[in-house]
C-alpha cells in the first residue's frame, strides 16, 4: 500500500514562457497525476515543442526535492500541475495606408507541485 506524505510539497514554477497556454495544456494533461519517472518518459517521446519547458521544470522540481529535502527522485509523484495565462507581448504589423495591425504574442506560467509517495 502506497501512502502519500502530504505534509511536504515540493514546488517549482516558471514564468513568461513564450508559448500559448493552450498548447502547453494538452501536454500537461498527459502527465498530471503520474509519477516522476513516467512523466519523464512521456515527455521525452512526445513530439511537441511544448515538452521542453515542462521537462526542464519537472527536472528542476525533482532537483529541489533531492537537494533541499534529501528525497529520492523515484518516490516523487505529481500532485498538481497547472498552466496559467501570462501577459501578451504586443507587436504591430504594418498594413495598408499607414495603419498598424496589432499582434498579441501570448506567454504563460507553469506551476508544478510534487509530493512523496512511500511504500
Q: 3-class secondary structure for 47-72?
A: CCCCHHHHHHHHHHHHHHHHHHHCCC
Q: pTM value?
A: 0.84
In the structure, what pLDDT confidence band is assigned to residue 74 with cuts at 50, 70 and 90? Answer: confident
Rounded to whole angstroms, how far apart are CA atoms 113 and 43? 17
In the structure, what pLDDT confidence band is assigned to residue 73 with cuts at 50, 70 and 90? Answer: confident
Domain residue extents for the chain: 3-91+102-118
Q: Which H or E element spans position 116? A: strand 100-118
3-91+102-118 CATH, one of 3.40.50.1370, 3.40.190.10, 1.10.10.60, 3.90.470.10: 3.90.470.10
Amino acid at each position: 500500500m502506497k501512502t502519500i506524505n502530504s505534509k511536504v510539497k515540493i514546488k517549482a514554477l516558471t514564468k513568461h514562457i513564450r508559448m500559448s497556454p493552450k498548447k502547453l495544456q494538452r501536454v500537461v494533461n498527459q502527465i498530471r497525476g503520474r509519477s516522476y519517472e513516467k512523466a519523464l518518459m512521456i515527455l521525452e517521446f512526445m513530439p511537441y515543442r511544448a515538452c521542453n519547458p515542462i521537462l526542464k521544470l519537472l527536472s528542476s522540481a525533482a532537483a529541489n526535492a533531492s537537494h533541499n529535502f534529501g528525497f529520492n527522485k523515484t518516490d516523487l509523484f505529481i500532485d498538481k500541475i497547472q498552466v496559467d495565462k501570462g501577459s501578451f507581448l504586443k507587436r504591430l504589423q504594418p498594413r495598408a495606408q499607414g495603419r498598424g495591425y496589432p499582434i498579441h504574442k501570448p506567454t504563460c506560467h507553469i506551476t508544478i507541485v510534487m509530493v512523496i509517495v512511500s511504500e
